[in-house]
Structure 1
Amino acid sequence: MAKPFKRLLITGAAGRLGSVLRQALATQADTLRLSDIESLGPLAEHEEGCQCDLGDYEAVLPLLEGVDAVVHAGGVPLEDTFAKLLNGNIVGTYNIYEAARRHGVKRVIYTSSNHAIGFYDRTEVLDASVPHRPDTLYGLTKCFAEDLGRYYWDKFGIESVNIRIGSSFEQPLDRRMLATWLSFGDFAQLVERALLAPRVAHMIVYGMSNNRETLWDNHQARSLGFVPQDSAEAYREQVEAQHPPLRHDEPAARFHGGNFAGAGHFED
């Protein structure tokens, strides 16, 4: 049976989530083109690799040639200096979209973050329509990328699904993640639904599993056909035994962005 795509590009393919996609999306494309600033390791028969800096437009431009769609998971994954975030997350994401435009690529799936809205109070359940309230410079770069995708949809018709990932690890690591956890399996499913949906225009969804606690209204993701299979409840007893209850005045208890919201300015 023919696969849905001839060639998919995955940026950040050597990272934690990129490695998940490298395995999961092998069933969706004849060829996976992989990119990362770090070594990609041995390549499988269906993989093409390119080690490059996304901030280098001349290196990014050929990555998009012959590509049907992009899963953009590359960039700086945590708070850092503005210079590093500027190159990896702002310039790098612009380069991906501009190279997509140049080569006629019509869909980008972007790994955004809940830190784009991290300064909202946890008493509020948010949907994807709320204005940005970034909790860090890192979160600010995610706001830029979401708006960049909007610009490229409105002006050039390039579709985007921006996945505001909660906390995607093998299992929840603390009490906050009982609400924000996204299992690797559910992450892979959400990316697949975003790739395969007939039309997405410019969409923002939340990346979270079927957790009992929730901070986000995720009806947009459901419209893609996303049905999460996992839940942080399976880990509740273990997590609560290892981590004492949060004080109400702690950032992780007060804000959607947790400790990111409570951290000082990185460059101070």
Structure 2
Amino acid sequence: MTNRPVRVAVQLQPQHATYETIRDSAAELEELGVDILFNWDHFFPLNGEPDGAHFESWTMLAALAEQTRRVELGALVNCNSYRNANLQADMARTIDRISAHGTGRGRFIFGTGSGWFERDYTEYGYAFGTVGQRLDALAHNLPVIEERWARLNPPPTRKIPILIGGAGEKKTLRIVAAHADIWHSYSDIPTLERKLAVLAEHGRAIGRDTTEVEISAGVLDSIAHRSFQDADELHQMGTTLFTIGLSGPDYDLTLVADWLAWRDQKNT
């Protein structure tokens, strides 16, 4: 089991809600003590009314970076293939700098993935391609992003953590082994056990100890509602970041306090 502290994140899904509700919920979550605020990088709702209210990820993250003082923030996850790699790096550095107000240390997490929701692509004019092509583009772009961070003036305030979402064993986990500080998936316990073994094998192939990678789990319905047995088992397997997904129009924060109490008990 890892010595990393347990952390709790909340994904405020930017759908079916007013921006004012999102802003106020973010403030309340920071006050409650969550560790990370995430949104997602889509252009349309993923559930509920398909044409319901929805807001863009990166511009919202910049606003939340200015609004907050302590909590880390990022997308779960950015879609790599919407934007030029160098532009992604510059936007990430800028939000890192915005979020550093008061402390000098940025709070931005660069969560990224290959993209999957076809409507985002077709309606906004991006080439959708194949799963393999999108993963190859992610593998190509991450070194470009890292190189651009080293050349920007001013540079990021810290080594921006890279979170990679996805669980494909042949390509995604190979990219995780090469680049990620955090790996995020929605895996149940047997699946996570298998995926961790695959990740470790990719690490050995490139000479990296993948125990350096923080393991992040999306909170599935089976463990969301005040039943922490599965969460305890995931923690025993090395998971230390747990993310609760909340959707508008009104974000129900009642679960969050229970998860924070569980986190604090684990970190005692």
Q: Considering the TM-score relative to the shorter chain, is it more than 0.5?
A: no
More helix, by proportion? 2
Q: TM range, normalised to the smaller chain?
A: 0.3 to 0.5
Q: Which has the higher contact order (CA 8 A, sep 6+)?
A: 2
Compute the TM-score of the two structures, normalised by the length of structure 2. 0.38
